[in-house]
Amino acid sequence: MTASVVTTALVWAGVVVLGGVGSVLRFMVDRAVGSRTARAFPFGTLAVNVSGAALLGFLGGLALSRHAALLAGTAFVGAYTTFSTWMLETQRLGEERQVRVAVANLIVSVMLGEAAALLGLKLAEQL
């Protein structure tokens, strides 16, 4: 077996493990935040996506190797954050005629996500 085959196998194993860890952590954070806020606004998903944006911004500011970036950014943060849940929750808010909350979810998520990613990037640049 060549070194590149072993490396590829290890990277794929890392993707599986870190992706699993990221998705379990997403579930835990979403539930912890959601249980403390009994409102229509999906604060759990917001917390997950904003913290994930900050982490991804931070990782983007580091000089990571291709494999490390894949494992940290795509596998872990990609599994941790959740665009699909954000969109589904926004769509459901619209169906429930909570249009202001749905629009607020879109605007607040994008603004805080952008700010968090920039903050993460700036923090990494300070290292």
34 is in an annotated binding site: no
Packed helices 83-95 and 99-125: angle between N→C axes, nearest 10 degrees: 160
User: How far is the CA of 46 from the CAs of 49, 104, 121, in angstroms?
Assistant: 5, 11, 19
78 is in an annotated binding site: yes
Q: What number is the average pLDDT over the span 49-62?
A: 97
Q: What number is the average pLDDT over the span 86-96?
A: 96
In this predicted structure, the answer to whether residue 5 has a pLDDT above a threshold of 80 is no
Out of 6-10, 12-16, 121-125, least confident range = 6-10
